Amino acid sequence: MPSDALLSVHDLRIAFDGVAAVRGLTFDVRPREVLALVGESGAGKSLTARALLGMLPRGATTSGTIRPDLVPHRGRRISLVPQDALSALSPVHPVGDQLAAAVRSVARVPRKEARARAVAALERVGIPDAVRRARAYPHEYSGGMRQRAVIAMATINEPDIVVADEPTTALDEAHRDQVLRVLAERREAVGAALVLVTHDMDVVRDHADRVLVMYAGRLTELGPADEVLGRPRAPYTAGLLASLPQHAPPGRRLPALHGTPPAPGTLPPGCAFAPRCPLATDACRTAEPEPQEVEGRLVACDRWAELPHPATRLFQEEERQPV
Ligand SMILES: Nc1ncnc2c1ncn2[C@@H]1O[C@H](COP(=O)(O)OP(=O)(O)OP(=O)(O)O)[C@@H](O)[C@H]1O
């Protein structure tokens, strides 16, 4: 593992009933970075994120290594901000009590002191009237407030790594930016790395240092976010970017990545993306490409040098015909 890695994942595989959902993923998490995991639904992002915390669903079998093992230190050195805040909070205890209990689970501090830290943590994530709110139950909070309380919980013990799994999916648009801002601010304040699962490329652009693009349980591209988004080297990354509205040239249809990813257990031979890839050749349909170093990043595509610039052109559709 690189000497500065907080966590190194090597050849991670996750399967259900012998069907592989994550297929040999290798990456590291570096101090204080924001590493975004992106890809369409079913790519294996959540499973990968949850594997870091030892929180995989029942029935999952795994192989590979994640070093060091932070699972025994969950809540202290590594913590989770889930999609749905309600799943992270107990409905039967006031929010302040839950935060205070989190403090006392790792440090021998008097109740009163833990309580004061809980209130301060709520204040820091912008919960108004925090003393009173600390006595309220999760169902008395709005969705945005609940998610901010979970961010307070995930950062109160100053972990090395926060894993956020689509932290704003359950929120309306108005609260999304606010929650992401609070998450970014808290992460910065406690000096944690953030592993951020998202399908939103705008979130990657605004918040990530590095991005790991996943497809069908594998690494497609991994590198600095501005470089990967600015000039993707894997056709799949280009397809994801091409589907963003801002890439629709005037008078042209929104370029699109057609089709859907294969479900685990129904993978085509060769590269799993080949059936949707305009650059695929017979060789691509025969052997699955391994990640290779390309200009300081990892790219699992043998055809990367054939990508046009801008790469989103690959998915451009013909001029819209008048009907
Ligand atoms: N509990 C489970 N039992 C069986 N298969 C599962 C289970 N959880 C996940 N999978 C399989 O693993 C695949 C990847 O799941 P994962 O939740 O990691 O995807 P994802 O990339 O996070 O997608 P999304 O953006 O929809 O959350 C799923 O498509 C599914 O086939």
Report domain extents, the chain.
7-211, 235-315
β-bridge partners, 80: 163
This model of the complex carries an ipTM of 0.97
Q: How far is the centre of ligand 1, averaged over its atoms, from the C-alpha of 175 (Å)?
A: 26
In sequence order, what are the residues at sequence separation of 6 or more whose Cβ sits closer than 8 angstroms to the Cβ of residue 132?
none
Query: Over its length of 323 residues, how does the chain's per-residue pLDDT go in tens digits?
Result: 556 899 999 999 999 999 999 999 999 999 999 999 999 999 999 999 999 999 999 999 999 999 999 999 999 999 999 988 888 899 999 999 999 999 999 989 999 999 999 999 999 999 999 999 999 999 999 988 999 999 999 999 999 999 999 998 888 888 888 889 999 999 999 999 999 999 888 899 999 999 999 999 999 999 999 999 999 999 999 999 987 766 555 555 555 788 899 999 899 999 999 999 999 999 999 999 999 999 999 999 999 999 998 888 888 764 444 54
- Residue 137 beta carbon below 6 angstroms from any ligand 1 atom: no
- Residue 23 beta carbon below 6 angstroms from any ligand 1 atom: no
- pTM value? 0.93
* Contact call for residues 291 and 299 (beta carbons, < 8 A): yes
CATH number assigned to the domain covering 7-211: 3.40.50.300
Cα 275–280–283 angle (5° rounding)? 105
Q: Which atom of ligand 1 is nearest to the CA of 21?
A: 12
Q: Whose CA is nearest to atom 26 of ligand 1?
A: 41
* Contact call for residues 37 and 195 (beta carbons, < 8 A): yes
* Contact call for residues 141 and 134 (beta carbons, < 8 A): no
What is the average pLDDT value for the chain, to the nearest integer? 91
Q: Which atom of ligand 1 is nearest to the CA of 14?
A: 12
- Residue 232 beta carbon below 6 angstroms from any ligand 1 atom: no
Q: Which atom of ligand 1 is nearest to the CA of 47?
A: 18
Lookup: tokens for 250 = 């005037």
Q: Give 211's Cβ-side CA count (13 Å radius).
A: 31
β-bridge partners, 161: 78, 193
Q: Which atom of ligand 1 is nearest to the CA of 197?
A: 22
Please report which helix (H) or strand (E) contains residue 115, including its range.
helix 111-124
- Residue 45 beta carbon below 6 angstroms from any ligand 1 atom: yes
